Amino acid sequence: MNRTKVSCLQVSCLLALLLTIAYSPTLVFSLDPLPRESGLKQSSRPGLILGQPVIDPNDGTTTQALGKASADSWLTGRAPWWNYYCGVGLPLAAEMQSGSFFLPFVLLLHFRNGIVLLRLCLQLLGGVGTFLLLERLKLKPLASVTGAVLFCFNGCFAWFQHASMFPLPFLPFTLLGVELEYQAPYLQKVIVRNAGLVLISVSVALSLYSGFPETAYCNGLLAAVWVTARLVGIAPKFRLAFLFRTVLGSIIGVALAAPALLPFFEYVGRSASSHSAFGDAVLPPGGLLRVVLPYIYGPVQAFNGIGKLPDLLLIWGNIGGYVGSVALTLGCVALFGRKEVALRLSLGVWAALVLGRTVGIAETVKLFHLIPAT
């Protein structure tokens, strides 16, 4: 146990160092989206590289604007239920993307460059969670550290800095909780045996509080695939208890997130909402290559509408990140290991189905339409 703590501390320091190096330009060039998205600036000086720092303008229009309003409200001793700065007023916490109850993380948006501080914390948290998960799977230290670094700097974090990626860091902790429950019958300490249930509950709650229930739902789908794979490997006499405790942890997590979910559902029920085209969006031709080679068509939004290039504006609008050639290669190699065969194959099939849905393969689209809320 002591060795584990030391290893986790070392990995945390390594990730913190890498994140500091990666974000060092923000010490000179701020990533504050307010000047870029508010329309209030009169002039700007172009950077060394063309394009935008992120894909989605919601880092300014929702996360920075609504998140700072929520943080300031908390710091004055008031719960951020209402946005007084939008016309006659609008619900604030109920909009979800404000992440009003995403405590303590939302408080970082009070500060200058708060977006960067929030990203640093979430990426570090996701990397540490991945390391703990891979270590629990008994991978070699090099593999665990490599996985932690790859998740810490994954393609969603690279291209987004609004609420759509905020639930991601809690996925490894949910899966770690599932693993602890899977191993619980063979563990002697009662505290460790209950850690899985606690981890699942807290991570599910935080992923919902973070402000983007769609991504939190995707986290839950992957966790369901993981649980299904583990049901194959666990002893039959422990299966029912394992399934019950993992489902119970999820239910407790949703219950803990009730202060954010109940206003959200009430707000949606009273709003003029309709079916969104994003539910049927697919990655257009030319976009699949970018999943592996993310900058093959240049920096973000740099060359939209130029020459005979594909419709880059549409591609940038429908892509949710990238895998990268290194991560893809390592993932493919991992499919052929001799241990944890059920888990490897389940994750491989799930990745293939998600990729098929992303590019619009008809069979996978129909399959995903069978899943509620997809």
Spans of all domains in the chain: 167-267, 281-369
pLDDT of residue 349: 93
DSSP string, 163-187: GGGTTGGGHHHHHHHHHHHHHGGG-
Q: What percent of the chain has pLDDT over 90?
A: 45
Q: What is the pLDDT of residues 259-289, one digit of tens each?
A: 999 999 998 888 776 556 667 778 887 788 8
- pLDDT value of residue 3: 46
The predicted pLDDT at position 219 comes to 95
- Binned at pLDDT 50, 70 and 90, residue 36 comes out as confident
pLDDT value of residue 132: 95
Name residues whose C-beta falls within 8 Å of residue 315's C-beta, 6 or more positions apart in sequence: 283, 284, 286, 287, 290, 297
Which amino acid, 185? Answer: P
308 vs 283: CA distance, rounded Å: 18
CB atoms within 10 A of CB 240: 11
pLDDT, position 8 = 85
pLDDT category of residue 188 using cuts at 50, 70 and 90 = low
Query: Is the predicted pLDDT of residue 4 greater than 70, yes or no?
Result: no
Between residues 83 and 52, the one the model is more confident about: 83
For residues 46 and 299, give the distance between their C-alpha atoms in angstroms, rounded to a whole number. Answer: 14
pLDDT band at 1 (very low <50, low <70, confident <90, very high): very low
Minimum mean pLDDT range among 39-53, 225-239, 329-343: 39-53
Lowest-pLDDT range, 91-100, 140-149, 284-293?
Answer: 284-293
159: three-class secondary structure by DSSP: helix
* Average pLDDT rounded to a whole number, residues 20-30: 80
State the pLDDT at residue 42: 67
Instruction: Please give the average per-residue pLDDT across 83-101, as a whole number.
Output: 88
Question: Taking 60 as the threshold, does the pLDDT of residue 243 lie above it?
Answer: yes
- Collapse the DSSP code of 161 into the 3-class scheme (helix H, G, I; strand E, B; otherwise coil) and give the result: coil
Buried b (16+ CB within 10 A) or exposed e, 32-44: bbbebbeeeeeee
Q: How far apart are CA 260 and CA 216, in angstroms?
A: 13
pLDDT band with cut points at 50, 70 and 90 for residue 245? very high
pLDDT number for residue 162: 87
10-36 mean pLDDT: 84
Position 206 pLDDT exceeds 90: yes
Q: Are 198 and 177 in contact (CB under 8 A)?
A: yes
The DSSP line for 230-285 is HHHHS-HHHHHHHHHHHHHHHHHHHHHTHHHHHHHHHHHHHS-----GGGG--PPT
Helices then strands, counting H and E runs in the chain, come out as 17, 2
- Whether the predicted pLDDT of 2 surpasses 50: no
pLDDT (0 to 100) of residue 254: 96
User: Stretch 250-264: mean pLDDT, rounded?
Assistant: 95
User: Is the previous residue joined to 104 through a cis bond, with omega within 30 degrees of 0?
Assistant: yes
More confident call, 179 vs 53: 179
Mean per-residue pLDDT over the chain, rounded: 86
